[in-house]
Amino acid sequence: MIEQIQKIEEEIETFNAKDTSDIEKFRIRFLGSKGLIKGLYALLREVPNENKKEFGQKINDLRTIAESKLNNLKGSNKKPVNKKSEEDLSKPTRADSVGSHHPLSIIKREIEDIFKKIGFSISEGPEIEDDWHNFSALNFPPEHPARDMQDTFFIQKGKEEIALRTHTSSVQVRVMENNQPPIRTISPGRVYRNEAISARAHCFFHQVEGLYIDENVSFADLKQTLLYFAKEMFGEKAEIRLRPSFFPFTEPSAEVDVSCTICNGKGCNVCKYTGWLEILGCGMVYPNVLESSNIDSKKYSGFAFGMGVERIAQLKYKVNDLRIYSENDIRFLNQFKSEL
C-alpha cells in the first residue's frame, strides 16, 4: 500500500491542467466518490490492526495534498475548453417577463386614492377580533344571526371566544375608541365569512369601509360623497341610487346601486335588465355605536359605508367569477401589466 500511496502522490504533484475540464477530471480521479483516494480507504480494511493508524494517517495526508492541489488549479483561472460557452457581451439583454400588481390590489389602491383626495385617512386593524369590536360595539344584539357558527369563523382562546373579523367595521370601532371627532377614515382589509365557495361567494374577500363623524353630518353629505366616488371610479356619466335597507350599526340605512357600466344603464343580462348594479351599503351611524366608543351622540353625527373590493373589480374588469382572484393563474394576472 505504501507504493500505491507514493505513486498517487507523484501523479498528483505532476498533474497539469490546461483548462477547467482538466480540473474537473482531476477532482473526479483523485477526490471523487469513486476516486483513487476513496479506494485506498477501502483497502484499509485489509491492513493489520497494528498498522491501520499509520496507513490511515498517510491516506489523510494524501487527501490533504490532493485538495490543496485542486484549490491551486482552481485559482489559476483556467479557461474552459469550449470557447463558444463564454458569455458574448455583444448580445442584447434578455427581455425578462415583467410582473404586475394583482387586480384587487390595483382596485384597492384606486379606492384609497379617491378618498384620500377628500381628506380620508387610512386605518388598519387585526384580522382576529374579539366579540366587542366585531359585534357588540356595532350594536349587534346577542341573538343576531351573524353571531352563529354558520356565518362566522370562531376561534376558542381559553375561555375567550374570538373570531376572524366579518367586516372591517371593527377597525372603525378601534379608531373611535382612540380618537375624538372629527374622524374621517377608510378601513381596507381582508374579511372572512363562513360561506360555500362559488362563482359569486368566497370564504374570504376584501372590503373598504368608510367612516365620517363630525358636528352636523347629514345623509346629504353621505350621498354626495358616494356620488363623487362613483364618478371617480366608473366615469363622469355614472349615476347612483339609494334603496332603503337595514344594518345594525346604521339608521337610516341604504343599499347603493350604480348605473350599469356595461350597458350604460340601458339594461343587459349583467344588470338583469334593470340598468343598475349594487356596489355598497351605507347609512347614518347609529347613536348607540357612537356612545359605546364614548362619543357624544347628541353633539356628533356621522355616516358609514362599506364596499367589497371584488365587487368593484368585477364591475371594472367584467370578471364574473370570484374564485379567479385567489387562484393566481399567471394567464389572468398578465392581463393587468398595463395597470402598474
DSSP string, 98-110: P----HHHHHHHH
State residue 111's pLDDT score. Answer: 96
Spatial neighbors of 274 by CB under 8 A, at least 6 apart, are 260, 267
> Which residues of the chain, if any, have pLDDT below 50?
78, 81, 149
State residue 34's pLDDT score. Answer: 80
State residue 298's pLDDT score. Answer: 94
Q: Buried (b) or exposed (e) across 305-339, using 16+ Cβ within 10 A?
A: bbbbbbbbbbbeeeeeebeebeeeeeeebeebeee
This prediction's pTM: 0.66
Q: Whole-angstrom Cα distance, residue 154 to residue 182? A: 34
Residue 38 and residue 114 in one domain: no
Residue 183 and residue 43 in one domain: no
Within 10 angstroms of residue 95's Cβ, the number of other Cβ atoms is: 6
**CA neighbours closer than 13 Å in the CB half-sphere of residue 71:** 6
State residue 146's pLDDT score. Answer: 57
State residue 242's pLDDT score. Answer: 95
Query: 3-state DSSP: the chain helix, strand, coil percent, rounded to 5?
Result: 45, 20, 35
Residue 253 and residue 290 in one domain: yes
Q: How many structural domains does the chain have?
A: 2
Determine the structural domain holding residue 35 and report its residue range: 2-79
In a domain? residue 95: no
Residue 62 and residue 185 in one domain: no
In a domain? residue 159: no
State residue 21's pLDDT score. Answer: 86
